[in-house]
Structure 1
């Protein structure tokens, strides 16, 4: 069962001008449990070279590396899995390409989508955006801030791990976890922090407390 602890989604444009590699190293030192290579706006070539560097780092720290959207890129950098959205490859197709041991995540914001993703083999669900967020530019405006009640409803409906995402901070994490999320994923709460290592540690402490 996928149980990563604090999950970082990378994005250089939300990293206060710092290289993604440097932010990831600091976060890993702070107890990060998983990394997703996102990097919207960068070319496939740039993401490939960054992904190879992140693969070496995550291997060193023994944490999983996933790729946002791109199954081909996940294969090219030997990632542990992929995180898919509604417009990406269907889960069964991704499983066929990546194999039985790959970690497959799926973004959902409704109970119906959660049930469908679980039935089609998702290893975990990225549920959100829980709170309004500026870190994702592809969230339906009507779904900005689905709230913890929706997290609870999705938790009641499925038996796969829930990774809550969207506007989550160390202060908000306990509320989200109490609603039924198994852990949290963040972008700017770590990438934009003055001290990413300390920010990660605070989030990890919040998750572990629950």
Structure 2
């Protein structure tokens, strides 16, 4: 399973892309990113499925991993590597019981959530926001990130406000990797 989890984890947001979606994904792949979460909340089910199928075809050429945000149905239909659940989504254990082949990640904004996600069988968590990001609430900070990394035994990805000036500080906490939208667009 860790073969599908990579150090850098790009989360899509086509509204922030300055170039067409498929070109942006290829550009990120050319930069070495191999793990992607399709997170396009505004699309209809049909549009999301269509985009997921296109993305899956692109990623297969690079041996990349595809995770679908909060849509187990779409993840199953495109044979994605996994699904990523927001903090207030349904329990990880429900998916792991019915679809044990799926890698399941969970977004967490507290140590308690991280511990609960691990207990429910999550394969990894994304902890956020580490630094200030407009509209994303109070930053968790490096100290809290380090606490989470020390308290759980599953991979922890850091997300939120990470850039060239602070990435080493984040990596020094022992995180498994870095997740981001804007982080990989510069």
Post-superposition CA distance 1:167-208 (Å, at most 9, x none): 1113321111111211101101224x3xxxxxxxxxxxxxxx
Residue pair 1:15, 1:188 contacting (<8 A) in 2 also: no
SS at match of 2:46: helix
Look up the match of 2:140.
146
Structure 1: 4+ residue segments shifted above 3 A: none
CA shift in 2, pair 1:46/1:30, >3 Å: same
Alignment length, in residue pairs? 184
Task: Calculate the TM-score normalised by the size of structure 2.
Answer: 0.93
CA distance in 2, matches of 1:165, 1:50: 24
Residue pair 2:85, 2:107 contacting (<8 A) in 1 also: yes
Higher relative contact order (CA 8 A, sep 6+): 1
CA distance in 2, matches of 1:172, 1:46: 36
Residue pair 1:8, 1:35 contacting (<8 A) in 2 also: yes
Look up the match of 1:6.
8
Structure 1 unaligned regions, length at least 5: 194-210
Structure with greater helix percent = 1
CA distance in 2, matches of 1:147, 1:9: 21
Post-superposition CA distance 1:36-95 (Å, at most 9, x none): 000122222211111001101111111210011111111121111011012212101111
Residue pair 1:11, 1:40 contacting (<8 A) in 2 also: no
Structure 2 unaligned regions, length at least 5: none
